[in-house]
Amino acid sequence: EVQLVESGGGLVQPGGSLRLSCAASGFTVSSNYMSWVRQAPGKGLEWVSIIYTAGSTYYADSVKGRFTISTDNSDNTLYLQMNTLRADDTAVYYCARHGTIFGDPLDLWGQGTLVTVSS
């Protein structure tokens, strides 16, 4: 079955770090562009970061310099390392798959993992 399963969310204090994982099955993460998208409670969708098949990465201005996206071919997993977390990073984080061409939409989504930043 083709699917994405996120994990790693939880409660963290402001200034802390967390690493989210997104395990893929049925396809190879390194063969597709992959993104993280988040949704604060009761709010809309916010694109966070993308990694291209060649390894290039891009970030929303709100997380640039604090978050790092990566993939691991050995376990077919997408990661999001989140450092210096702030209260406004509180959200459900979704991983999602693009196609293999620039501009492709997000055609497969995980179920999401909740990150809460609070003291």
Cross-strand partners of 34: 51, 97
- Out of 30, 112, 114, 116, the only residue in the binding site for other proteins (CB under 8 A) is 112
The yes or no reply on residue 27 touching other proteins (CB under 8 A) is no
Choice from 10, 11, 58, 84 touching other proteins (CB under 8 A): 58
Q: Does 55 bind other proteins (CB under 8 A)?
A: no
What is Dmax (Cα atoms) for the chain? 42
Closest to other proteins by CB, 30 vs 52, is: 52
Q: Which of 44, 54, 55, 65 binds other proteins (CB under 8 A)?
A: 44
Name the amino acid, one letter, at 32: N
Per-residue tokens: 18: 């967390």
Cα distance between the two ends of the chain: 39
Torsion of the alpha carbons at 79, 81, 85 and 90, rounded to the nearest 10 = 0
- Name the residues that contact other proteins, by CB under 8 A: 35, 37, 44-47, 50, 58, 60-61, 94, 98, 102-107, 109-112
